[in-house]
A and B are shown apart, each in its own frame.
Chain A
């Protein structure tokens, strides 16, 4: 088992190294640089910049170095925990992204838990009650969940909440708690805001997960050992939950790792619509404004989350299924 885990971690490091190169290249790809935005901004404030000042700016942001030097500067700092400085905010990237990343991770994990908590029983129910009315209703809902992008669900939900409930939605805190220090009341207020994005993201992934759960369980229910278990006189509950579901879970665990990037990516778009202070909105402005280090660090962190998810899923799978460890 340990051997297997070490090998997986080795693969993960190689993958991360490639990701850092590709990610940096992609972030640098757009034409122009932050200096141009900066010049434009300074010009709007009045006053023109001389060529000397522009060169000074370029020197300050290190834009005259060749790309591999810039990459090396960034990645060697990144590994040591120094993510560089955001051009736009004139702050350390570290200070900017910490809290946002935490919100992204917690929203993702909570929605993952919620999705699994709903999807597994739902899939089991619709597999054991195949071709009944509830199964058809679940199937229709699953298709809907797969066809609606999460930001649309959020938009409709928010319009609904505002029109009919008169509730103020969006953001993570009510106005009075925005700058208040942490307290119990603020935490409750946070939960009151947090449930909407969690439910919206869980909605989409529940649809896919429960559909896979249903199909897997249907496969397993046709196996002979299920028949044997029934003929031994075991109760239906034991047959389903102890014999069938446990075996039907494997593909679901395999998907678990792959689903994390999807959830994060849904979350980033959702955050823009709902104005949640997570990674999404800041990443997109950083990307558009060529705020190099900020955008690259975000992309890198999001990818690390994805790779970590994969690793955890691999380990979980090896733990559940001994055959994999000895491959």
Chain B
């Protein structure tokens, strides 16, 4: 390939590195498809934002119990629906500094309404310190009392994002809830890929009756409205008990999500495989006496792999939103497990949210995560095939 392309005489030879990233005609032949994809992807600023953003989200979420000042299950009965603690950088001496402070809060029972009211004592400033001892939590299996930040004075409260209806720290719950919300899509997509690629390839390659049956199944699953179907399947799960723990439920939810998810992938892979089947390289392999298995595994799967990755990446946001909707309706992740959708369940009543707007914060994290995943998926799609949507 390389020798057939003559460099134009008037263009000065570009520098070594730049050469690679400008994707010049002369180098394209030297690079493998995957290298080309990687270059195109890393040139896409939004996609890189998605990758780094997601990396940070995962780190924060999985170190959540260490990062949050309180344990996510700890209930402060005197801080029910407590508002977020104010933070100030103006010290007790009235000067602005780098040391953050929070104010002491007191709980007063209003004798007229018999509701707890929270008063911020502006005169009493408490310094926020890093690496303080607090509630014992387990981070990635390690038990520790160390927290990234918090108050040294354990008698004072520090709730960055307020407290929920049982007086639990919303910040800690959002971080811990993210562990389920950000992974449920990955497992769900992994399952749909296995189902979708096996069935889609078989359907496209063998055609005939297998194809007909598969097409009908896909059509039937596609005709069900997704969320009611998910809800019906989720309602069929047993209640949480000794034999059926939250972990079981989590995996069953991912299966439910992928039952619907695989059809899209199967349909698209089928179209791909159909076009490969008549391609010259397949005909050549057939003429050379290759078996069906060999043709599928060595000629079709590598060709479809990039496509599978793209569809997988694009499928993750839908799964995350699916889990959120299910848990929001009370059919997905159930307490004591926490997920963003389950947290949003507290925000179902408009009147509650109007009074305690911080209960809506998990909505923001859902949108952020889905948005970052969409950026990655979009970037991958452009990298694999710059001409398709």
Cα A268 to Cα B328 in complex, Å, equals 13
Residue among A159, A216, A310 making CB contact with B353, cutoff 8 Å = A159
Residue in B224, B367, B371 with the greatest tally of chain A CB atoms within 10 Å: B224
| A261 & B225 in contact (Cβ 8 Å cutoff) | yes
Q: Does A283 contact B (CB under 8 A)?
A: yes
Known A-B contacts A155-B353, A295-B232; A212 and B389 likewise in contact (beta carbons under 8 Å): yes
Residue among A149, A211, A272 making CB contact with B366, cutoff 8 Å = A149
Known A-B contacts A149-B366, A306-B225; A163 and B232 likewise in contact (beta carbons under 8 Å): no
| A30 & B228 in contact (Cβ 8 Å cutoff) | no
In the complex, per-residue mask of B222-257: 1 if CB is within 8 Å of any chain A CB, else 0: 111111110111011010000000000000000000
The smallest beta-carbon distance between B135 and chain A, in angstroms, is 31
Residue among A19, A216, A219 making CB contact with B220, cutoff 8 Å = A19
Residue in B232, B325, B351, B363 with the greatest tally of chain A CB atoms within 10 Å: B232
| A143 & B233 in contact (Cβ 8 Å cutoff) | no
Interface of A, helix, strand, loop or mixed by DSSP: helix
Q: Which residues from chain B contact A30 at a C-beta distance below 8 Å? A: 235-236
The smallest beta-carbon distance between B51 and chain A, in angstroms, is 16
Residue among B223, B235, B374, B388 making CB contact with A146, cutoff 8 Å = B374
Cα A26 to Cα B236 in complex, Å, equals 8
| A310 & B223 in contact (Cβ 8 Å cutoff) | yes
Cα A170 to Cα B353 in complex, Å, equals 14
Q: Does A147 contact B (CB under 8 A)?
A: yes
Q: Does A148 contact B (CB under 8 A)?
A: yes
| B232 & A261 in contact (Cβ 8 Å cutoff) | no
Specify the chain B residue showing the minimal Cβ separation from A21.
Answer: B220
Residue among B227, B348, B360, B371 making CB contact with A156, cutoff 8 Å = B360
Q: Does A53 contact B (CB under 8 A)?
A: no
Residue among B225, B238, B351, B374 making CB contact with A143, cutoff 8 Å = B374
| A29 & B232 in contact (Cβ 8 Å cutoff) | yes
Known A-B contacts A146-B374, A149-B325, A159-B353; A15 and B219 likewise in contact (beta carbons under 8 Å): yes
| A211 & B374 in contact (Cβ 8 Å cutoff) | no
Q: Does B203 contact A (CB under 8 A)?
A: no
Known A-B contacts A18-B216, A151-B325, A159-B354; A306 and B367 likewise in contact (beta carbons under 8 Å): no
Q: Does A265 contact B (CB under 8 A)?
A: yes
Cα A112 to Cα B222 in complex, Å, equals 18
In the complex, per-residue mask of A26-40: 1 if CB is within 8 Å of any chain B CB, else 0: 110111000000000
Q: Does B98 contact A (CB under 8 A)?
A: no
Known A-B contacts A18-B220, A29-B232, A299-B232; A169 and B389 likewise in contact (beta carbons under 8 Å): no
Specify the chain B residue showing the minimal Cβ separation from A274.
Answer: B350
The smallest beta-carbon distance between B360 and chain A, in angstroms, is 7
Q: Does B201 contact A (CB under 8 A)?
A: no
Residue among B228, B233, B347, B387 making CB contact with A268, cutoff 8 Å = B228
Task: Number of B interface residues at 8 Å Cβ cutoff, please give it.
Answer: 42
In the complex, per-residue mask of B358-375: 1 if CB is within 8 Å of any chain A CB, else 0: 001001001100110011
In the complex, per-residue mask of A80-117: 1 if CB is within 8 Å of any chain B CB, else 0: 00000000000000000000000000000000000000
Q: Which residues from chain B contact A151 at a C-beta distance below 8 Å? A: 325, 328
The smallest beta-carbon distance between B365 and chain A, in angstroms, is 11
| B225 & A272 in contact (Cβ 8 Å cutoff) | no
The A236-271 residues at the B interface (CB cut-off 8 A) are 258, 261-262, 264-266, 268-269
| A149 & B324 in contact (Cβ 8 Å cutoff) | yes
Q: Does A49 contact B (CB under 8 A)?
A: no
Q: Which residues from chain A contact B366 at a C-beta distance below 8 Å? A: 149, 152
Q: Does A220 contact B (CB under 8 A)?
A: no
Q: Which residues from chain A contact B357 at a C-beta distance below 8 Å? A: 159
Q: Does B188 contact A (CB under 8 A)?
A: no
The smallest beta-carbon distance between A132 and chain B, in angstroms, is 17
Q: Which residues from chain B contact A283 at a C-beta distance below 8 Å? A: 228, 231
Q: Which residues from chain A contact B236 at a C-beta distance below 8 Å? A: 26, 29-31
| A148 & B329 in contact (Cβ 8 Å cutoff) | no
Specify the chain B residue showing the minimal Cβ separation from A14.
Answer: B216
| A287 & B223 in contact (Cβ 8 Å cutoff) | no
Cα A149 to Cα B318 in complex, Å, equals 9
Cα A158 to Cα B348 in complex, Å, equals 11
Cα A271 to Cα B296 in complex, Å, equals 46
| B238 & A31 in contact (Cβ 8 Å cutoff) | yes
Q: Which residues from chain B contact A31 at a C-beta distance below 8 Å? A: 236, 238
Cα A163 to Cα B360 in complex, Å, equals 14
Known A-B contacts A31-B238, A147-B370, A295-B232; A215 and B389 likewise in contact (beta carbons under 8 Å): yes
Known A-B contacts A147-B370, A155-B350, A155-B363; A302 and B225 likewise in contact (beta carbons under 8 Å): yes
Q: Which residues from chain B contact A284 at a C-beta distance below 8 Å? A: 231, 329
In the complex, per-residue mask of A302-324: 1 if CB is within 8 Å of any chain B CB, else 0: 11001100100000000000000
Q: Which residues from chain B contact A307 at a C-beta distance below 8 Å? A: 223
The smallest beta-carbon distance between B260 and chain A, in angstroms, is 10
Q: Does A22 contact B (CB under 8 A)?
A: yes
The B323-369 residues at the A interface (CB cut-off 8 A) are 324-325, 328-329, 344, 347-348, 350-351, 353-354, 357, 360, 363, 366-367
What residues of chain B have their CB less than 8 Å away from a CB belonging to chain A?
216, 219-220, 222-229, 231-233, 235-236, 238, 317, 321, 324-325, 328-329, 344, 347-348, 350-351, 353-354, 357, 360, 363, 366-367, 370-371, 374-375, 387-389
What residues of chain A have their CB less than 8 Å away from a CB belonging to chain B?
11, 14-15, 18-19, 22-23, 26-27, 29-31, 143-144, 146-149, 151-152, 155-156, 158-159, 162-163, 169-170, 211-212, 215-216, 219, 258, 261-262, 264-266, 268-269, 272-273, 283-284, 287-288, 295, 298-299, 302-303, 306-307, 310
**Known contacts A14-B216, A159-B360, A268-B227; can you find 9 more A-B pairs with CB under 8 A?**
A22-B224, A26-B233, A30-B236, A146-B370, A147-B370, A162-B350, A170-B350, A273-B348, A299-B229
27 interchain pairs, CB-CB under 8 A: A18-B216, A18-B220, A27-B232, A29-B236, A143-B374, A144-B371, A146-B370, A146-B374, A147-B317, A147-B374, A149-B324, A149-B366, A151-B328, A152-B366, A155-B353, A156-B363, A159-B353, A162-B350, A163-B354, A169-B350, A170-B350, A215-B389, A269-B325, A283-B231, A288-B235, A303-B225, A310-B219
Query: What are the 8 tightest A-B residue pairs by CB atom distance, in nearest-first order?
Result: A215-B389, A29-B236, A265-B225, A147-B370, A265-B227, A147-B371, A306-B223, A30-B236
